[in-house]
Amino acid sequence: MRSTVFLAMTLATLTAKEPKIQYPDSKPGDTIDLLHGIHVPDPYRWLEDLNSEDTSKWVKAQNTVTESYLTKIPGRGPLEKHLTKLWNVERFGVPFLEGGRYFFTKNDGLQNQSVLYSTTSLESKPTVLLDPNTFSADGTVALSDYEVSPDGKQIAYSTSASGSDWIEWKVREIETGNDLPDHLLWSKFSGASWSKDGKGFYYGRFPTPKKGQKMTAQNIHKKIYHHTLGTSQDQDRLVYERPEHPKQGLYAWVSEDGNYLLIQVSRGTDTKNGLFYKDLSKPDSEVVELLPNFDASYDFVSSLGSTFLIRTDLGAPKQKVISIELNKPEPSNWKTIIPESPETLRSVSHIGGILIANYLKDARTEIRRFGLDGTQLPPVKLPGLGTASGFGGKSGQNETFFYFTSFTTPGAVYRYDVKSNTPVLFKSPKTQFRPKNYQSKQIFATSKDGTKVPMFVVHKKGLKLDGNNPTLLYAYGGFNISLRPSYSPATIAWLDMGGVYVMANLRGGGEYGEDWHEAGMKLKKQNVFDDFIACAEHLIAKNYTSSSKLAIAGGSNGGLLVGACMVQRPELYGACLPAVGVMDMLRFHKFTIGWAWQAEYGKPDDASDFKNLLRYSPYHNLKPTNYPATMVITSDHDDRVVPSHSFKFAAALQAAQKGTAPSLIRIESKAGHGAGTPTSKRIEAIVDKYSFLSKTLGFEIKL
């Protein structure tokens, strides 16, 4: 390992002599749109054509510039070695029982994709059922989803290539490990749910996109089909569609008893949804629109004969559980089973004859238990303060499993006995990580309007509050998504570099219920940016860090967050890492599933929403000034937030940058929005990000 003195000298030399970066010519065009009476320039519209030769050349040239910059940064070798060591730990997924067999995933450590195993007994040696590492030579084809038939004889599984949201369904015999001829295409945002007889399954799919539009065309006209084993896809039976509502999402699954097909109907990403059902016990029964008003969120929990248990936020922003008798479905007959609590109810499962409810208290998990009549039972005692997930299974099973983790607790799997209310450690990673060397705590910043915003702060013990600590502030702030404490090798590597890691729980998320979510959406989106800015200012005021040592990061909606905040307050940060972000708020609805986000952001075609979107759209608000060091991050196969968002933003940023700080874009090949990314690519990406931060924030990589 190079000496600290040598590293410091090398870093100083590079900083002093480094020439100004020569960016590729992005050739601004003269496209100007007249929108609601306002002329809006869009000089980099040509970068929306992902199939053009000009875009391909631009991507290659940008990656060449970025690679040249990153590879010269000292300390990358030791960082990659340290990350690889942290990652090289056996990891287990949460087991589940179906058809008399247990199923779980395991990663030996550095496998690009986790492997699905099956066994008839947890004490027996498991067998490999699906190994995604054999699907492709480079690990870029991932196992997306899977569902075991009720008799445990077959498994329907889907794969995605290069990180795309498009999935292909196949069926494998569990006993032999052989694939059946069944092969289904053009499915997206869908699981598979077997019919009670195990002869087929329900799934959702879209029309076949036109040639050349697979990665960009709008995803509309989704339909629910039933596939019978041994038949071709063109013979699949259409079960349900809503042709008069082409932009409504349909998600279908079969109830545990096999008697009902539940159909959840969504309007974009709006949390308010419809819930319909079809009685499968009656041939040719019609779909019943049980909850058709889209006046609240309705999540099916379980069926007790002809009674449905539903989790909802109707009149209860932090959620409650109600029962609806199908023979008397009028709201006046509904009964409250679990009333609303001061804490946010995030999920409920029906296991072993009781209801197990997962709550969030200041973004930390609490697990409570209830009888089917709502009687409160003793809670589940968790191993500590952190995040618990799982508790799946069947209503008649007495055992289930859950996963527990925190920032300083490597994820472990626990086996839980329902009757005795006893969790027992089942699998834990054998790691050299020492939790006692680190500490985490929760602090609160005060936003512009006085709202208290929580943050988790994690660092090595003995941290000096001298304002000189490199700090990485991460957040999301949208779509009712809750950020919760979890262990990550990437986070630990940052702490080992001497950094402080901060995760903020902004408005727009779901940490404090639907009111918290709605306070950060549509016309109130600026609250999210104000929250993030307040968190940054608080960290500086409390001497955790300083502007020159502070980096902000986020992905997807979090990429929008970083882009908007760096445009609004460029002097507040030393570095910015917007990843796969929604950067053009006037055209996001024109590609793939982007139309669905109008429920969260507002409609660019509506005059009042348009003005609000234009006010904060990162791409449209760049102007000539000194921007902080920035590395935009995207992938060439991202068909959720299409990469043209990042392409256009990076081109505009390079043109607007008046300072000397780098304005780079890193474009990953054969990768998508994040899901299914191979381990090797994850490590490479983190090495690049942390190297970039070490140089731009001015600290050495010492490991």
Enzyme catalytic residues = 556, 673
| Cα–Cα distance measured from residue 321 to residue 68, given in angstroms and rounded to the nearest whole number | 56
| Cα–Cα distance measured from residue 351 to residue 25, given in angstroms and rounded to the nearest whole number | 60
| Cα–Cα distance measured from residue 135 to residue 112, given in angstroms and rounded to the nearest whole number | 11
> The tokens of 255 are what?
């109830």
3-state secondary structure of 205: strand
Buried b (16+ CB within 10 A) or exposed e, 477-496: bbbbbbbbbbbbbbbbbbbb
Q: How far is CA 15 from the centre of its chain?
A: 36
3-state secondary structure of 155: strand
Residues 510 and 480 sit within 8 Å (Cβ to Cβ): yes
Cα dihedral 347/352/354/360 (nearest 10): -30
| Cα–Cα distance measured from residue 415 to residue 418, given in angstroms and rounded to the nearest whole number | 10
Q: Please give the order of strands across the beta sheet that includes 179-187.
A: 141-148, 154-161, 167-173, 179-187
> The tokens of 510 are what?
């779901």
Residues 391 and 413 sit within 8 Å (Cβ to Cβ): no
| Cα–Cα distance measured from residue 270 to residue 517, given in angstroms and rounded to the nearest whole number | 11
- Strands 500-504, 471-474: pairing is parallel
Residues 333 and 325 sit within 8 Å (Cβ to Cβ): yes
| DSSP per-residue string spanning 234-296 | GGPEEEE--TT-TTEEEEEEE-TTSSEEEEEEEETT-S-EEEEEEETTSTTPPEEEEE-S-SS
Residue with tokens 């979890």: 486
> Residue 278: beta bridge partners?
261, 287
| DSSP per-residue string spanning 21-85 | P----------EEEETTEEEE-TTGGGG-TTSHHHHHHHHHHHHHHHHHHHTSTTHHHHHHHHHH
| Cα–Cα distance measured from residue 472 to residue 500, given in angstroms and rounded to the nearest whole number | 6
Q: What is the DSSP letter of 681?
A: H
End-to-end CA distance of the chain: 9
| Cα–Cα distance measured from residue 657 to residue 532, given in angstroms and rounded to the nearest whole number | 23
- Strands 96-98, 101-107: pairing is antiparallel
| Cα–Cα distance measured from residue 288 to residue 140, given in angstroms and rounded to the nearest whole number | 41
Helix axes 679-696, 489-496, angle to 10 degrees: 30
3-state secondary structure of 644: helix
The kind and range of the H/E element at 4 are: helix 4-17
